[in-house]
Structures are given as structure tokens and as C-alpha cells.
């Protein structure tokens, strides 16, 4: 097989792509210094690139404040980009109000952490789902079509029999049922991409797996590309095909989920894994001691060089000043860490 025939299906599988995307939020401070006020910004997301593929789940994992929700909101076009580009099916997307923007909003749907907040308490399930079908032009031509569409949506999220749920208000449902309604509403648009921002973190532990399995089922049956945002790297192993790790606004490691969670390459991923015990993983005692500690940095003045260097037990001299690029490792895994630059390691060893 030629190189060309191998790469074409791969390119066709990519539904949504972020290329070097950044978001800086301007913030005010109360010093009365007008110049300083003008220049302060939270560097919430810097130079993030990712690809979401048809029929796959990609996990985006990181601590609180690392920029995960901002990435989801940028991908959903809820914020203008500070820099970079977003491509849907290979075409660059321009924010605005035109036809292509409306098509984008239909194709890329966001599911929030708190289903109670995202559903209007004064409206029934029927209202929420009918509105989604109507807005996205999928309500059909009469009452019977609309009813059939509502039933199909509820069956797709396994709320059956549908008639039992259609006329319920959000407060009459359990947390898991509400999140299923929020997912059904997103499916009303017939999207290609679901951006699920911590979709189970507010649910009881006992029902989380059911909702994650539903998303997995939708990925398989509807061939959706799903971004699964989570604090919980252990869940990424079981639920996501590939995993990206985010630290202080940057993606620092990526690869297939099994490799990233079982053989993490970046010291920050190792720290996350060490604080999320997994019974299947065997971690040597010496590795456990080398996990580093401390708090994430301020994103108003992020550390120079590698943003993880103040917490990194393996930090070297150049880590303090030079930003590590992405180093490709085996089997598609990569890490933005100077440890994987053979020239750096040799130089540091010689200096000791
Ligand atoms: N609208 C905003 N204005 C100013 N700063 C913001 C805004 N939204 C987010 N931030 C800041 O950007 C950074 C990243 O926030 P974000 O919500 O994306 O993180 P997160 O990884 O989703 O965190 P969590 O896990 O707590 O949900 C944080 O420092 C946050 O305070
Ligand atoms: S680049 Fe340096 S500071 Fe950053 S994670 Fe790698 S070793 Fe640690
Ligand atoms: Mg968030």
C-alpha cells in the first residue's frame, strides 16, 4: 500500500481539529494602574492542537483550572479565539452568524457538567427536545413526525418507555436521567461531535458508569467524535480511545489511553496517575516518591520555560527558560518534556 492511500482514510476520520488554539482572558486589577490593567490576561489556553476522530472518544484530562472547559467552549465557538484555527471536516471555521456558522453549531454540541443548570426547570422534557428538533430543522412536517422524533431521541438515550418521561419536569428526574435528557437534546441536532465537559462528575458514583456507557454506545452506533473532559485519569483508561493531558493551559502529553495511563511519559502525567490509584497498575516504590507536589501556577504570569518546572522533581536547567516542544515516542505517544530530547539529557549528565 502506498503512503498516500494510507493517509487519506486517516484524514477523512478527523471531524474536528484545533490548530495552535489560544485563549487569553483580560482581567482587571484594582491598583489604579491603567497600563497594567490593559495588559493583564489569564493565559487559560495556549497553543492547543488536537484532532477528534469519527467513532472515537478522546479524553482531555487535567487538574482544576488547567483550561479544559475553555478548550471545550472554544471548540463550541462560545468564545472568540485569541489565536489559532478550528477546522470542521478539513475546512477552517469563521465565527459569525452565517450559514456555515449555523451548520457548525448544529454539528458540534456541548454537554455541561450540571444537567440541572442546563435544563430550564419550568419546562418539560417534551419542550426541551421539541425545541432542539425544531431549531435544527428535524421536527418533520406534522405532530406525528415530531412525536416519533421525540420517542426516538428518548430511546436513543435509554429513557424507556419514552411516554413515561416526555411530560416530566427536570426536578422529577434523577441526576442520571437529567443528564440523559441533556444528551438527547444535543442529539436532536444530529451532531457529528459531542463535547462532554465532566458529564458525570456531579452524578452519584453508582450511576456514572451507566452514563459513560451510554456515551460509548453513541460513539459506536452513531459514529460520533466525542471529547470527554475529566479530572479522573483512571476513567479515561476505560472509556477513551486516546488521552490528552493538560497542564496550566497547555497539552503536555498524548497517546492511546492504555499507554498514557499505564506508561505515562510526562512527569505531570506521572503525578496525576500516582494520585489516582489503579489496582491494575504496578508502580515501583521509587517512582512513587518522584511524583512532585505543590499547586498549579498562576495563569496570569505563567512560569517561563516548561510551566511544570516549579513542581517537577526531574526539572533540569533548561526547563526553567526554554519551552519544551513535542517529542514523539513509540506507538503514537508524545510528550512535551525535555527528558525526551537526547541532546538535553547528555548535556545535563556531562554537567554533573
Ligand atoms: N471568562 C473567564 N474570565 C477570566 N478567566 C477565566 C474565564 N474562564 C476561565 N478563566 C480562567 O481560565 C483558567 C482555566 O479555566 P477552565 O475553567 O478552562 O479550567 P478547567 O480545567 O475546566 O477547570 P475545572 O476542572 O475546575 O473545571 C482558570 O484560571 C480560570 O480562572
Ligand atoms: S521539561 Fe523539565 S520541568 Fe518540564 S516536565 Fe520535563 S523535566 Fe520536568
Ligand atoms: Mg471545567
pLDDT value at 92 more than 70: yes
Q: What does the pLDDT look like over 161-182, one tens digit per residue? A: 999 999 999 999 999 999 999 9
Nearest alpha carbon, ligand 1 atom 14 = 67
Residue 115, pLDDT score: 80
Of 137, 168, 132, 136, the closest CA to residue 150 belongs to: 132
Does the beta carbon of 25 lie inside 6 Å of ligand 1? yes
Q: Provide the Cα torsion 282, 285, 287, 288; round to 10°.
A: 90
Q: Give the mean pLDDT of 300-311.
A: 95
Contacts of 207 (CB under 8 A, 6+ apart): 174, 175, 176, 200
C-alpha 350/C-alpha 344 separation (Å) is 10
- pLDDT score recorded for residue 281: 52
Distance CA 241, CA 198 (A): 17
Residue 79 Cβ inside 6 Å of ligand 1? The answer reads no
Extended beta strands in the chain, E state:
14-26, 41-53, 56-61, 83-88, 91-92, 108-111, 193-197, 225-230, 242-247, 250-256, 327-328, 334-335
When the pLDDT of each residue in the chain is averaged and rounded to a whole number, the result is 88
Report the relative pairing of strands 108-111 and 193-197 from DSSP bridges: parallel
pLDDT digits (tens, 9 = 90+) for 186-239: 999 999 999 999 999 999 888 999 999 999 999 999 999 999 999 999 999 989
- Check whether 336 has a pLDDT greater than 50: yes
Angle at CA 269, nearest 5°, toward 265 and 273? 115
Percent of the chain with pLDDT over 90: 72
d(CA 205, CA 160): 22
> Closest residue (by CA) to atom 7 of ligand 2?
315
Does residue 47 register a pLDDT over 50? yes
pLDDT band at 269 (very low <50, low <70, confident <90, very high): very high
Query: Which atom of ligand 1 is least distant from the CA of 71?
Result: 18
Instruction: Note the ligand closest to the C-alpha atom of 317.
Output: 2
Residue 146, ligand 1, Cβ within 6 A? no
Please compute the mean of the pLDDT values over residues 296-302 and round it to a whole number: 88
Which pLDDT does position 35 carry in this prediction? 54
Amino acid at each position: 500500500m502506498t503512503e498516500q492511500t494510507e493517509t487519506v482514510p486517516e484524514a477523512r476520520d478527523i471531524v474536528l481539529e484545533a490548530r495552535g488554539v489560544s485563549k487569553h482572558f483580560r482581567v482587571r486589577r484594582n491598583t489604579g494602574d491603567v497600563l497594567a490593567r490593559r495588559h493583564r490576561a489569564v493565559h487559560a489556553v495556549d497553543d492547543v492542537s488536537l484532532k477528534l476522530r469519527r467513532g472515537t472518544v478522546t479524553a482531555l484530562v487535567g487538574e482544576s483550572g488547567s483550561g479544559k472547559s475553555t478548550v471545550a467552549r472554544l471548540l463550541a465557538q462560545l468564545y472568540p479565539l485569541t489565536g489559532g484555527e478550528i477546522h470542521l471536516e478539513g475546512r477552517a471555521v469563521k465565527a459569525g452568524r452565517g450559514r456555515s456558522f449555523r451548520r457548525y453549531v448544529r454539528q458540534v454540541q456541548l454537554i455541561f457538567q450540571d444537567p440541572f443548570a442546563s435544563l430550564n426547570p419550568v419546562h418539560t422534557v417534551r419542550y426541551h427536545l421539541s425545541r432542539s428538533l425544531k431549531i435544527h430543522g428535524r421536527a418533520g412536517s406534522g405532530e406525528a413526525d415530531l412525536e416519533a422524533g421525540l420517542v426516538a431521541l428518548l430511546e436513543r438515550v435509554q429513557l424507556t418507555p419514552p411516554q413515561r418521561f416526555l411530560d416530566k419536569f427536570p426536578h422529577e428526574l434523577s441526576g442520571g436521567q437529567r443528564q440523559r435528557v441533556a444528551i438527547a437534546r444535543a442529539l436532536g441536532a444530529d451532531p457529528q461531535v459531542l463535547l462532554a465537559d465532566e458529564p458525570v462528575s456531579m452524578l452519584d458514583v453508582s450511576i456514572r458508569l451507566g452514563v459513560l456507557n451510554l456515551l460509548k454506545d453513541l460513539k459506536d452506533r452513531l459514529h460520533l467524535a466525542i471529547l470527554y473532559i475529566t479530572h479522573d485519569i483512571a476513567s479515561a483508561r476505560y472509556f477513551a480511545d486516546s488521552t490528552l493531558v493538560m497542564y496550566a493551559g497547555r497539552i503536555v502529553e498524548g497517546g492511546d489511553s492504555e499507554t498514557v495511563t499505564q506508561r505515562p511519559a510526562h512527569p505531570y502525567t506521572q503525578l496525576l496517575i500516582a494520585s489516582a490509584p489503579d489496582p491494575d497498575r504496578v508502580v515501583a516504590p521509587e517512582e512513587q516518591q518522584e511524583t512532585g507536589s505543590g499547586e498549579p501556577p498562576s495563569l496570569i504570569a505563567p512560569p517561563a520555560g516548561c510551566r511544570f518546572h516549579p513542581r517537577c522533581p526531574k526539572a533540569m536547567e533548561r526547563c526553567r527558560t526554554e519551552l519544551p516542544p513535542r517529542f514523539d515516542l513509540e506507538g503514537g505517544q508524545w510528550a512535551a518534556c525535555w527528558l525526551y530530547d537526547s541532546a538535553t539529557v547528555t548535556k545535563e549528565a556531562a554537567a554533573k
